[in-house]
Amino acid sequence: MIDIHTHSKLSHDGKFSIPEMVAEAENKGLRYYAITEHLDRDYRYFFRLRFCKQLNVDKYRREREAFLKDYVSENGMYVAFGIEAGHSKKSMRDTKRTLKGEKLDFVINSIHTIAGGEDPYTKVYYTRNKEKLDAYNKYLDAVYESLFVPYDYQVVGHIGYVIRYAPFEDISICTPEFHAKIDDILKEIVSQDKTIEINTRIRKEGYNQLPEDYILKRFKELGGTKVAYASDAHRPEEIAGKYDIGVEAAKKAGFEYWTVYKDRQPVKMEF
Ligand SMILES: [Zn+2]
Ligand SMILES: [Zn+2]
């Protein structure tokens, strides 16, 4: 098993230390395990979200260096350290400055906040964007914009995030009215040769992972080759928790292996 996306207590919504998280990954027999703390500088531009605890980048660097100094895996598991950077236009220069010079295995580029509506997680998004067409188009535009950030990234995070908290009867973002925007995003990801994560942190009936099957299949059709399993775990027991669901989604879309990153270089791994 692998897992490219988890959080320790250095992230505002995590509760467990790096050694606790790694110990459980080791215990489960993973071959590759990544901690990817939240860097949500975009939160600073929203009144309520700006009070959220920000990542202490220096502390994260000290902790991962101290950890790696003494760490020897019993099973040959590779422990990767990365960052999940939340993009917004207003914060991208701050994010760029913050990431400069950081020695990381990779960066996940995610959209959590959308201008005019905060983070859909807070529910304000759907009180301000009541129509599905409007709410989802704004999200997809933000994802497209995020592909051109001025800093290095390897993975595009949880495409379709906006559906996690959507109040609609049919929450799918893959209905025909969104196909053109989805294609634009996927073509750009293919041309930049980035990896799409298959993120299993979703608790909506009928939805096993983000992106939905349609998007994964379309990514493959358009020439995409790189995908990776991501639990988005915030607790040890969630690490690789729905790994089989991730493998199934990847296979169904026609992918044959995972792509993970070591020191920003892609490495193929078997399912
Ligand atoms: Zn995220
Ligand atoms: Zn995350």
Q: What is the DSSP letter of 202?
A: -
Distance 223 CA to ligand 1 centre (A): 25
Residues within 5 Å of ion ligand 2 by Cβ? 84, 232
CA 126, 130, 131 angle in degrees (round to 5)?
A: 130
Distance 158 CA to ligand 1 centre (A): 7
Distance 163 CA to ligand 1 centre (A): 13
- Ligand closest to Cα of 34 equals 2
Cβ proximity of 188 and 140 under 8 Å: no
Select the CATH number that applies to the domain covering 2-269 from these four: 3.40.50.720, 3.40.50.410, 3.20.20.140, 3.10.28.10: 3.20.20.140
H or E stretch at 40: none
| Token pair in block for residue 215 | 């998007």
Distance 108 CA to ligand 1 centre (A): 9
Distance 86 CA to ligand 2 centre (A): 10
Cα–chain-centroid distance for residue 201? 10
Domain residue extents for the chain: 2-269
Cβ proximity of 153 and 104 under 8 Å: no
Strands (E), 98-194: 106-110, 155-156
Per-residue pLDDT tens listing for the chain (271 residues):
999 999 999 999 999 999 999 999 999 999 999 999 999 999 999 998 999 999 999 999 999 999 999 999 989 999 999 999 999 999 999 999 999 999 999 999 999 999 888 999 988 999 999 999 999 999 999 999 999 999 999 999 999 999 999 999 999 999 999 999 999 999 999 999 999 999 999 989 999 999 999 999 999 999 999 999 999 999 999 999 999 999 999 999 999 999 999 999 999 999 9
CA 53, 55, 56 angle in degrees (round to 5)?
A: 110
- Ligand closest to Cα of 158 equals 1
d(CA 83, CA 32): 16
What pTM value is reported for the model? 0.98
For residue 105, give the nearest of 32, 20, 17 by alpha carbon.
32
d(CA 116, CA 118): 6
Distance 8 CA to ligand 1 centre (A): 13
